[in-house]
């Protein structure tokens, strides 16, 4: 079993740790460069992408994580984590940056203000229907040809991907850590094993 880290600068860290424990994975939280060096895969949780990007800078994790991503580190970003992995951000703050590890463009809070938070069932490739929790979620508005779409949602404005994968890097608009269904984390963990 790989050692999976959960980036623990801000956001719903505990929920991801719990799901990984249910799956029997070795988990550690990552706040420092030393802790990052010890993990074989990483989850970037939901939270607030502007705050997390600031904390990544001041903890000196930005450069190390960029390097690990370039080396093929398996990473799953959920919600704010997806924003941080994306190439371009609409409706971001002017000083907001992202790793550009996933060839997608996202719009922050892209599902509209009235429906800022909602739950729905989405069909995930290889798994089936999954209850998904959207909280001020980013909407994927462009994706490159190397991006595999594992689930999409039509919110009345046409279908947009909500779970994507590009090699070892996974992005999810919603919060798979907020339900008791651990299958998306399970897919991610299996993919780490497969790429080792
Ligand atoms: N809207 C938040 C952001 O921009 C993301 C929300 C979430 O992670 N639940 O970071």
Residues 28-70 have pLDDT tens digits of 999 999 999 999 999 999 999 999 999 999 999 999 999 999 9
CA dist list (Å): 55 to 11, 32, 48: 12, 11, 11
Shortest-distance atom of ligand 1 to CA 45? 8
pTM above 0.85, yes or no: yes
Tokens of 81: 């984590």
Q: What is the mean pLDDT of residues 68-84?
A: 98
User: What total number of domains does the chain contain?
Assistant: 1
Shortest-distance atom of ligand 1 to CA 79? 8
Q: What is the CATH classification number for the domain harbouring 30?
A: 3.40.50.880
- Give the pLDDT confidence score for residue 2 in this predicted structure: 83
pLDDT grade for 22, boundaries at 50, 70 and 90:
very high
- Please give the distance, rounded to the nearest whole angstrom, from the Cα atom of residue 138 to the centre of ligand 1: 7
Q: Distance between CA 48 and CA 55 in Å, rounded?
A: 11
Q: Is 44 in the pocket of ligand 1 (CB under 6 A)?
A: no
- Please give the distance, rounded to the nearest whole angstrom, from the Cα atom of residue 123 to the centre of ligand 1: 22
Just list the catalytic residues.
79, 175, 177
Full domain range(s) for residue 71: 3-195
Q: Is 107 in the pocket of ligand 1 (CB under 6 A)?
A: no
Q: Which residue intervals of the chain are DSSP H helices? A: 13-22, 33-37, 49-58, 61-70, 80-85, 183-195
**Ligand 1 pocket mutation pick from 6, 43, 80, 140 by most atoms within 8 angstroms of CB:** 80
Tokens of 27: 């988990």
């Amino acid at each position: 079993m790989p050692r999976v880290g959960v980036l623990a600068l801000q956001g719903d860290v505990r929920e991801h740790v719990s799901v990984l424990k249910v799956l029997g994975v070795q988990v550690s939280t990552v706040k420092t460069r030393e802790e990052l060096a010890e993990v074989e895969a990483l989850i970037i949780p939901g939270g607030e992408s502007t705050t997390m990007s600031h904390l990544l800078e001041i903890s000196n994790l930005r450069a190390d994580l960029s390097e690990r991503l370039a080396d093929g580190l398996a990473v799953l970003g959920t919600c704010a984590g997806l924003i941080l992995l994306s190439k371009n951000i609409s409706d971001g703050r002017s000083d907001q940056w992202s790793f550009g590890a996933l060839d997608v463009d996202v719009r922050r809070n892209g599902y509209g203000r009235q429906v800022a938070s909602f739950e729905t069932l989405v069909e995930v490739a290889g798994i089936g229907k999954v209850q998904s929790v959207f909280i001020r979620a980013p909407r994927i508005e462009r994706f490159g040809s190397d991006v595999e779409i594992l689930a999409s949602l039509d919110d009345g404005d046409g279908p947009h991907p909500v779970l994507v994968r590009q090699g070892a890097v996974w992005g999810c608009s919603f919060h798979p850590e907020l339900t008791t269904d651990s299958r998306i984390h399970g897919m991610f963990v299996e993919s780490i094993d497969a790429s080792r």
